[in-house]
Amino acid sequence: MAQLPAPPMNLDDVHRLEELARRRAQDPKRPLPEPRVAPVAPASQSTASTDPKQAALAARLELLAQRRTGSSTGNQGSASSPSGSAAANRSKRRHPAQGARAAALGLSIVSTGGLAALFAVSNPSTGTQLAAASIVSGQTAASAAVGSQTATPAAASAAPAATPQAAAPVVGAAPTAATPTAPVAPTPDPASQQVNIAVPAPAPVETTVQGAVFQNKWGNVQVEVTFGADGSLIDVSTLQTPYRDGKSVRINDYAVPRLNSEALSAQSANVDTVSGATYTSNDYRRSLQSAIDTARAAGVTAVA
């Protein structure tokens, strides 16, 4: 604390006034201490006061004291300062909230550590699933099932039910053929049979499946897989990869094509992590696996 030119009344004065007022409030009969409580600081050049200032202080003090007596009960006790040394009193006067300061500092440090630990524990390098995989077009469980049931609304809605959960995204989880489900009669639906030309499973059509959406620390990952009529993976692409920060974009620019081509050559979700893209790789695998599982459940048979 640099010693600056003293203003008419500085904060220390205010603190001193407060302190005196508090004492007086506790004991109204106590006479106003004539001079100030001696600030025995060694470096007290600036406290050498002049008379007018003293008078102003006294007046202010009187006012404060009167105010205090009105509500004198709740003042925190002098118990906390057991007539301690002058030095202790002085620092107390300078930092009246010493205890609270310590508490605030402690709390802040503990919360920082605690939150960081919490984040570490709750953050595996794989994300949480936001939405399940869904079939966009082609083969479905419904069309793979025995002919007569295929397009009843019940069966159509059973298709996405084969996937982990019903939190599927907006994409019509139903096959293109079954999109007009609602208005259609509940009996066998000719429309679906027109489109899904091959009623007997496995249908010789390409099937496109959107994998589950996984959210990790950088953003969302979701793949889209196209299966050939023979059930092989003929195309894998990403619908979502983290894009919020430049670094993610740069990483994914090289990681995603590699993941895609690896998936195609592996014909499975068994792809290696691309270095530097751990999170994307992990969730890519999981999204791809969910797409494959969904397709298999719908009757898209694997080649290998």
Partner 1 sequence: MNDVMWYLSRSTGIVAGVLAVASLMWGFLFSARETGTRRRPAWWLDLHNWLGGLALIFTIAHLVTSVLNRDAGIAIASVFVPGIASADRLALAWGVIATYLFATTVLTSWPRRLFSRRTWRIVHLSSVVGVALALVHGYQMGSDASARLFRFGMLVAVAAGTYTLGVRLFGVMAKPRKPSRQ
Q: Mask: binding to partner 1, 145-184, rule CB under 8 A, as x and -? A: ----------------------------------------
Site for partner 1 in 198-237 (CB under 8 A): 217-218
At residue 226, the 3 state secondary structure works out as strand
Label residues 83-99 b or e (16+ Cβ within 10 Å = b): eeeeeebbebbeeeeee
Cis amide leading into 202 (omega within 30): yes
By beta-carbon proximity to partner 1, the closer residue of 273 and 289 is 273
By beta-carbon proximity to partner 1, the closer residue of 9 and 184 is 9
Q: How many residues does the chain have?
A: 304
Task: Report residue 38 as tokens.
Answer: 């001696």
Q: Residue 291 class from Cβ within 10 Å (0-12 exposed, 13-18 middle, 19+ buried)? A: buried
Stretch in the footprint of partner 1 (CB under 8 A) among 53-61, 115-123, 144-152, 282-290:
115-123
Q: Shortest approach of partner 1 to residue 6 CB, angstroms? A: 9
Our measurement of the distance from residue 11's CA atom to the centroid of its chain's CA atoms, rounded to an integer in Å, reads 42
Stretch in the footprint of partner 1 (CB under 8 A) among 36-44, 108-116, 151-159, 167-175:
108-116
Q: Return the residue of 249, 253, 270, 303 that touches partner 1, per CB under 8 A.
A: 249
Site for partner 1 in 5-64 (CB under 8 A): 5, 7-8, 10-11, 14-15, 18, 22
By beta-carbon proximity to partner 1, the closer residue of 114 and 257 is 114
- Contact between 88 and partner 1 per CB under 8 A: no
Distance CA 195, CA 177 (A): 6
Task: Report residue 291 as tokens.
Answer: 């797409």
Q: Provide the 8-state DSSP code for 177.
A: G
Distance CA 242, CA 229 (A): 31
Residues that bind partner 1 (CB under 8 A): 1-2, 4-5, 7-8, 10-11, 14-15, 18, 22, 71, 73-76, 95-98, 100-101, 104-105, 108, 111-117, 119-120, 123, 217-218, 244-250
